[in-house]
Amino acid sequence: MDNDILNYLPYKSSFRFVDNISFLSENEVVGDYTLRKDAFFYEDHFVGNPVTPGVIVTEIMAQIGLVVLGLFLMKSEDENSIAAGNNFPLLTSTEVSFHKMVLPGEKVTVVSKKEYFRFGKLKCYVEMLDSADELVAKGFFSGIIKKVELK
């Protein structure tokens, strides 16, 4: 899969939770991320028994399942709209249920299916699976990608 869409993500190094996009269409995205064992959030969560915080699991799901798909849809409408790099993703709502823990070093896969995209708002049903294809978390994510003028 061509991962050019990753160049448009507004995240850098320690807060970019997307390694690869294996499938991307106007209705669906599939991507993965391997959690680094030395990630900043494991040091204190939990001492001696690190577990990925739910907020990070949610962020991985949002970055792959909502932001990547949203940028792709915007690019499909207007190539220049994302090329300028002045897009700011805003998560407007989530409804997530957690089913398993994610440990340091695990690779997770996110599958997102578009519910709707209209008036600049995207809503998706998103699932996260572990390397054994077992459900880690699932839920609905909504958001917009706002264009901001850089000064």
CATH for 66: 3.10.129.10
pLDDT (mean) for 77-86: 63
Q: How many residues does the chain have?
A: 151
ω into 72 cis (within 30 of 0): no
Tell the residue number behind the tokens 């709209």, with chain if given.
81
Residue 136 near residue 128 (C-beta atoms within 8 A) = yes
The domain tally of the chain equals 1
- The per-residue pLDDT for range 84-112, each reduced to its tens digit, is 566 778 899 999 999 999 999 999 999 99
Domain span holding position 34:
4-147
- The per-residue pLDDT for range 47-75, each reduced to its tens digit, is 899 999 999 999 999 999 999 999 898 88
pTM value > 0.85: yes
